[in-house]
Structure 1
Amino acid sequence: MAIFWSVILASIVNMVIGYYWYSEKFFGKKWRQYAELSDEKLSQLEKKDVRRSYVINFIASFIMVYMLAFFLLATEAVTVFQALGTAFWLWLGFIATTHIGSVLFEKKSKGYFFINTLYYLIVLFVDSFILIGNI
Structure 2
Amino acid sequence: MDLTSVNFVAIFLAAVANMVIGALWYSPTMFGTKWSALMGYKAKDLPKMQQAAKNGYAVMFVVSLVMAYVMAHFIQYLGITTVQEACQFGFWVWLGFVGATQISDHIWSEKPLQLLYINSGYRIVATITMALVLTLWV
Contact 1:96 1:117 in 2 (8 A): yes
- C-alpha distance in 1 between matches for 2:122 and 2:108: 21
Q: Counterpart in 2 of 1:116?
A: 119
Q: Which segments of 5 or more consecutive residues in structure 2 lack a partner in the other structure?
A: none
Q: Counterpart in 1 of 2:64?
A: 61
Deviation string 1:26-72 (CA, Å, 9 cap, x unpaired) is 00011111111112223212123x43221111001111111211221
Matches within 5 A, 1:1-135: 3-48=7-52, 50-134=53-137
- C-alpha distance in 1 between matches for 2:101 and 2:32: 22
C-alpha root-mean-square deviation of aligned residues, in Å?
A: 1.7
- CA drift of 1:114 comes to 1.1
Deviation string 1:65-95 (CA, Å, 9 cap, x unpaired) is 1121122122221211111111101100111
- CA drift of 1:2 comes to 7.0
- C-alpha distance in 1 between matches for 2:98 and 2:107: 15
1:98 partner SS: helix
Contact 2:6 2:76 in 1 (8 A): no
Contact 1:102 1:113 in 2 (8 A): no
Aligned residues: 134
Q: Which segments of 5 or more consecutive residues in structure 1 lack a partner in the other structure?
A: none
1:105 partner SS: helix
- Look up the equivalent residue of 2:61 and give its one-letter code: F
Runs of 4+ in 1 over 4 A off after TM superposition: none
- C-alpha distance in 2 between matches for 1:115 and 1:124: 14
Contact 1:2 1:134 in 2 (8 A): no
- C-alpha distance in 1 between matches for 2:132 and 2:87: 8
